[in-house]
Amino acid sequence: MENKKVKIKDVVKLINGYPFKPTDRGNSGMNIIRIQNLNNPLAIYNKTTKDVDEKYIVKKGDILISWSASLGVYEWKNDSAYLNQHIFKVEFISDKISKDYFRYVIQLAIEELTYKMRGVGLKHLTKGQLDAYEFILPNITEQTTIINRLNNLEVLILKRVKSIKLLNEYIKSTFLEMFGSLIVSNKKTNFKVLTQLTQNKKNAIKAGPFGSELKKEYYVSKGYKVYGQEQVIKNDFSFGNYFIDKERFEKLNSCKIVAGDVLISLVGTLGKVAIVPEFFEEGVINPRLIKISFDTKIVNPYYIKSLFETSHFEALFKDISKGGAVKSLNLSVLKKINIPIPEINLQNKYSEQLKLVETQLQKFLKSQLLFEEMFQSLLYNSFNHDKIEEDEIDKLINDELEIETMIQDIKVSDFESLTQYNSSKDLLFKVLERTEIKNKLENETSKFNKGIVQIYFQNKIEIKTNREHKLDSK
C-alpha cells in the first residue's frame, strides 16, 4: 500500500451521525454535536437523554467531517458527545496512515470536490464521493515529514494573520483616540460635504463610466489598466489584468486616476477605500467605483480612508444604499453626507503614522498570501503526485546562473523603465520570500543553499546568494 494511490475507503470507515428528531432534544443528557458546534466553540449544545448506538459517540481526538453546507474537517477536543447527522465520524481501519496526514487528505479532498461543484448553491458531499477519493499514501516516516512541513507553514500563516489583525486594531484604536469624538455631531466639530473638500478641477469627483462604455469586448492583453473593486478591497493596485487600448482610454479620460486619488467601492462591498499610490499603472476606474481628488490643504486622503472604514460610516453607507440583494451607493447621495473635518495638522500627523503601519501591513499581507500559496502547492503535490512540481519561482531558485545574473542586475540598477524596475523588484521579493520560507521549513540546518537572502552588514542591507551566506556563517 505504501507509496501508491489508495482510496479513502481503503484506510477509514465514515460513519454518519444519528438523525435526532426535535422531540429527542431537551435540556439535559449528553451533548449533541452539530455543525455549529464545530464552527463556533461558543455555540449552545442541544442535549438528549435518548439511548443511541455506541457508534454515534464521539470521543476526544476523533476526526469529524462536516459534509453538508458548511464543509470542513475537525479534530474533536472536548468530552464525549453524540454525533448529529450531516457529520461523518472517521474510524481508522488501517495502521498505514496517521491521523494528521488523513486530516490534510480530507482538507484537499473537500477543496477539489467542491471546486467541481462550483456554481451549485448549497454544497454537500456524499459518502460515495469521499470513499472514492484517491491520494498518495507514503510510509509513516514520509507522512511525518510532510505533516511537519505543512504544520510549519500553518504556523507561519497563523502568525501573519495575528500580526495583520493586531496592526488593523492599532490603526482603528489610534484613529478613534485622535478623532473619535469628532465622528458624532457636536458644536465644536467642523462638518463639510464632499464638494467642499475636493480640488478645484474638472472631474474631481467622478463615478466610473457607464457599462456600455467599458464592455469586456474592449479589453486587450496590454495597455491602460482598468481598476475595480478587486484592487480597492485588496488595497493592492498591482492586482488584476484588465486593460484597454489608447483610443478607449482617451474616451474615458474623465475616469483617469492620479496618485493620491481616493477610490471608493459603490456596489456589493460598500464603502471600501483605497488611495492611489505614487507608482501605479496608468488607467481608469470601472463602473463600480468613484474617484475623488481631495484638496490636501483641507483634508488628508489617509484621514478619509480611516474615517470611512469606521463602524459609524460603515453603518451610514448601509443606511443610504439602495437595491435588493446587491446594495449600491449613489454618488449624488454621497455628496450630501456630512464629514467631520479636524485641523489639517492633526490629520497629517495621523497620516504619517498610518503610512508607516500600512507599509508593514502590506508586507504581512503579501507574505501571508505567499505562505498560503505554498501551503496549497505543498498540499496538492504531496497527496496527488509522486514528485512535487516546481513553479516558476522554484525553477528560478534552482538555476544558480539565473540567480547570479539577477543579483548583478539589481546591483547595477540599469533599468530602461519604471515597469522594468517594478518587475525586477517584484521578482526579487518573491525569491527572497521563497528562500526564507524554504530555510525555515528546513530549520536552517539542511543542505538547502539555493536562492537569495538579505543580510545586514556594516550598517547596510546587502543581498547575496543563500550559498554565500551559509558559507560566510560557518
Residue found by looking up cell 455506541 in the block: 54
For the stretch 181-193, pLDDT in tens is 776 656 667 889 9
Residue 427: how many CA atoms within 13 Å on its side-chain side? 19
Residue 116 is predicted with a pLDDT of 64
For the stretch 158-178, pLDDT in tens is 999 999 999 989 998 999 888
* C-alpha span between 313 and 319 (Å, rounded): 10
- Find the angle CA(303)-CA(305)-CA(309) to the nearest 5 degrees: 115
Burial class (CB in 10 A: 0-12, 13-18, 19+), 464: middle
Residue 452 is predicted with a pLDDT of 83
Residue 422 is predicted with a pLDDT of 64
* C-alpha span between 266 and 205 (Å, rounded): 13
* pLDDT cut 70: percent of the chain above it: 86
Residue 387 is predicted with a pLDDT of 43
CB-based contact 103:69 (threshold 8 Å):
no
List per-block mean pLDDT (blocks of 10 residues) for the chain, which spans 474 residues.
79 95 92 93 92 94 91 93 95 94 92 66 79 91 91 90 92 88 67 91 92 88 92 87 92 94 86 90 92 95 91 86 73 87 93 89 83 81 57 73 70 58 72 77 63 72 76 67
SS3 228: coil
CB-based contact 83:89 (threshold 8 Å):
yes
* C-alpha span between 208 and 227 (Å, rounded): 10
Which one, of 357, 352, 438, 445, lies nearest residue 453 by Cα? Answer: 438
Position 197: which residue type? L
Burial class (CB in 10 A: 0-12, 13-18, 19+), 251: middle
* C-alpha span between 54 and 34 (Å, rounded): 17
Position 276: which residue type? V
For the stretch 94-143, pLDDT in tens is 999 999 999 999 998 988 888 765 444 456 888 999 999 999 899 999 99
Residue found by looking up cell 467599458 in the block: 214
* C-alpha span between 222 and 375 (Å, rounded): 31
The whole-chain average pLDDT of the chain stands at 84
Residue 364: how many CA atoms within 13 Å on its side-chain side? 19
